[in-house]
Structure 1
């Protein structure tokens, strides 16, 4: 019995029945009705984790695209068999927050249903609805940067990759409908709304039926406590940010951070410093007879810096940096307060191909392949929209012998830079939104920048 099967407590005989029927259905040997009848006769019921584990076990037999195209049919195959989860979680638990968001977005969807029944079209109520729906990308981002990586650490990666494609479908559908509304293309907009709502509800159903209950069974309280901390960095859709998830004995000190974003960011920074110090102590060894700490002075290529200074420099760079090593593992990202693309600590150590949606993985793999072979050294992307310019460049990292050591990604919002004209040679304080000053950032501008970053990610 493999660790994933053991963790989910999957019975071998029941598992073989589920996989056999799924395979026979996918191969066309069983009809939907026949498969459903056999499942009811042999199993009676099937738990969400049994369903998910069987889907994971089809890995290598069927391509993701084959499973994706048949996912709704596979769920119908288990109609009346798949046990509906209660989805009851402790308050402030990360899965509780997902549930609260799903309940909140369903209220927005019901409001849209009512507006569709109106004889007269009035734009403002629709703008209110889609202002809320546009926030759903934050819900999806938390899943992709937080929940999925933790599940993958347990060998549960097939269902998450497939669900990521559904995530993108919902995000893109909301964005397309919202664009039609803003462009006053009312007939096209109204025609698009039912499909957008259907995709949203379908994805939420998949989360409630399979993803959330399976995650609750597979992940530990320690993991959920860590997830809760990083969830607050990314943010929440439609609902107010909950308190941190606190489990006595695991994070008693976290209780003092509830509702304190500044305190949380400080804790994350200190946690990063401690981790970095520990890492250097392990691989660099003692410096001057003592273990490496945040105040230890280190010889860098062209100077001497402490760990704390190195961390501060990375946090104040006017660009976002990410580093993937030669083994295609994400090893570092700069935790800047002005980040364009959301990140969380859970991406560290994750395969870079699992940090991107399925439709853009081939681009990532091509970049790494050509950098590794020495055929290419840089790859550029940019997004140019009215009032916004995002620049992204990937650079091959090589050591002094020319050996490939990984990929450095740099992302920058260059909107202000491109607006500059003439010359400035005198000190003038006329800009209030310098990098690192988050108090004056315009929320809409940040949303546009993040949207543009996602467009680059989907290239």
Structure 2
């Protein structure tokens, strides 16, 4: 790993790095004073860059899972003050790192509001309004874990995955637990939870901006940052939305593209490569590559595949995906795709599948509003050799509610899908319902131009009147894709244009305008 990270950075003077490490450790443990540490920096180390700290931590320092939480960044920065440039880099407005900085700036503003409110008698509505915004921040961590960390791993810098991920999850959980205490009305415990949350969130933001982001800028190429943008939009942003850039809407043609196309056609002719329309012999039929991808896209379940080397090789990109994924996960070690607290479970599953001791592992998440089923299957070839792990995930909330039998055709979404005894509705009733719905649809189309919208209009009512609206919104703004997830379906029960505008960052007027355009 040491050599790999070194390959992507300017020249590293190892003697200086060793002195820096020893000085930092002595200062942190109280063996030398701040003045003594700074004197060593002045005489033996000199100026350094943020990636020097990252390189030292990655390759010279023995770490543990809680290191990022334990280390006091402010104390380290006192020692490095004047020796390391800590200024924020000048970046384009649509750069992925710009969005991380922007989210941190907003989170800092919210934390100041927390410190202000704790001084006064508690007014629950004020806190509810504030926490409605704070609860959006953890999507910042989702992007880091699914987008930024995988790229850094490829460059030999996996310290964020192995240590910072724990800090991410700690703050995410503190926000969630504080919000729960607020909902339950436990004022004393809620107020007590604010100080550690503020301290932890600020410390992590400082670690991000002092080391993580500058090191990312040194290791990741502009082309890789450009590719990152679509995955970032797919996962979403904490306090705003980001429209596709003109570059991503109109990708530049690859050089020598005509030659590549001619070469592919020639290879296909002699059976060495398959184009999207060439049929492939699959186990029980013939499918084109396009058909295979369409099948995966429309599966009612999410699947992922990890090969025998424990590398993630594939996931199905469905609109109803349960948990966020991005293409940066491909080629990544599977243990680096999970929080540290669950890595031992992942390792145990792989080990028992590899040894042949087990073939299947099941998990499920059972909550009042949602039931998620997760299963892992050992993949073996015809000779019984272990070839990988298949993960399947499904939102089974609707399936668990089904009762009786349905043996006649009734379209999904029809109000009277079943009669009271669990039997199917009669065909003639279904025909009448369909005719009624057609009439309603015609009326809706005639009145859509005059549609009255307000901040209190419920999205659930809009989607019932205009079934195509949800899909159209998701197509225009990727952040609306979350409406198809289990969590999104729960939120839709109460969501209004006002709450949706706050979560998407569009603003009420802009969202209402977008809805009218979609209709």
Give the structure-2-normalised TM-score: 0.73
Relative to structure 1, the CA distance from residue 405 to residue 6 in structure 2 (aligned partners, 3 Å threshold; closer, same or farther) is closer
- How far off its partner does 1:83 sit? 3.0
Structure 1, unaligned runs of 5 or more: 247-251, 258-266, 452-459
3-state SS of paired residue (1:135): coil
CA–CA separation in structure 2 for the residues paired with 1:142 and 1:98: 9
Q: Deviations over 1:335-382 (max 9, x none)?
A: 001111111111111111111122211111111000000111111111
1:401 partnered with 2:354:
no
Aligned to 1:19: 21
1:338 counterpart (317, 320, 329): 320
Q: Counterpart of 2:286 in 1: which secondary structure?
A: strand
Residues 371-422 of structure 1 deviation map (CA, whole Å, 9 limit, x = unaligned): 0001111111111111111111111111111110000111111111111111
In structure 2, relative to structure 1, the CA distance for the partners of 1:184 and 1:70 (3 Å cut) is closer
Look up the match of 1:64: 64
1:304: Cα distance to partner? 1.2
SS in 1 for 2:65: helix
Partner SS state of residue 237, structure 1: coil
Change in 2 beyond 3 A, CA 1:328/1:449: farther
**Alpha-carbon distance in structure 1 between the residues aligned to 2:180 and 2:337:** 27
Q: Does 1:219 align with 2:220?
A: yes
> Is the counterpart of residue 431 in structure 1 residue 413 in structure 2?
yes
> Partner of 2:57 in structure 1?
55
What residue is the counterpart of 1:304 in the other structure? 286
Indicate conservation of the 8 Å contact 1:64/1:158, yes or no.
no
Check whether the contact 1:56–1:158 (CA below 8 A) recurs between aligned residues.
yes
Residues 135-174 of structure 1 aligned to structure 2 (within 5 Å): 135-174=136-175
Of 282, 294, 300, 2:276 maps to: 294
Question: In 2 relative to 1, CA 438–340 (structure 1 residues): closer, same or farther, beyond 3 Å?
Answer: farther
Deviations 1:287-309, CA, capped at 9 Å, x for gaps? 76463111111111111111111
CA contact (8 A) 2:373 2:394 kept: yes
1:139 Cα deviation after fit: 0.9
Among 384, 394, 399, which residue is 1:412 paired with? Answer: 394
Shift of 1:439: 5.9
Q: 1:385 to 1:449 in 2, by over 3 A?
A: farther
Count of residue pairs brought into register by the alignment:
419
CA distance in 2, matches of 1:335, 1:63: 35
Distance 1:376 1:415 in 2: 28
- Please give the alpha-carbon distance, in whole angstroms, between the structure 2 residues aligned to 1:64 and 1:397: 33
Matched, 1:372 2:374: no
Residue 236 (structure 1) aligns with: 237
Alpha-carbon spacing, 1:144–1:65, altered in 2? closer, same or farther (3 Å): closer
Output the CA distance in 1 between the equivalents of 2:91 and 2:230.
Answer: 17
TM-score normalized with structure 1 length: 0.82
Q: 1:442 to 1:228 in 2, by over 3 A?
A: closer
Residue in 2 aligned with 1:114? 116
Match 1:359 to one of 341, 363, 368: 341
Aligned-pair Cα RMSD in Å: 3.2
Q: Would you say the 8 A contact 2:8–2:155 is kept in 1?
A: no
Residue 115 of structure 1 and its aligned partner are, at CA, apart by 2.0
Tell me the residue number matched to 1:264. Answer: none
Local SS of the residue matching 1:176: helix
Q: What is the DSSP-based 3-state SS (H/G/I as helix, E as strand, rest coil) of the residue aligned with 2:363? A: strand
Aligned to 1:86: 88
> Given the superposition, is the C-alpha separation of residues 442 and 35 from structure 1 closer, same or farther in structure 2, using an over 3 Å criterion?
closer
What is the rounded CA distance, in whole Å, between the counterparts of 1:289 and 1:362 in structure 2?
44
Give the conservation status (yes or no) of the 8 Å contact 1:314–1:335: yes
Query: C-alpha separation between the residues in 2 aligned to 1:301 and 1:49?
Result: 50
Q: Does structure 2 conserve the Cα–Cα contact (< 8 Å) formed by 1:337 and 1:438?
A: no
- How far off is 1:103 after superposition? 1.2
Instruction: Provide closer, same or farther for how the CA distance between residues 54 and 384 of structure 1 changes in structure 2, counting only shifts above 3 A.
Output: same
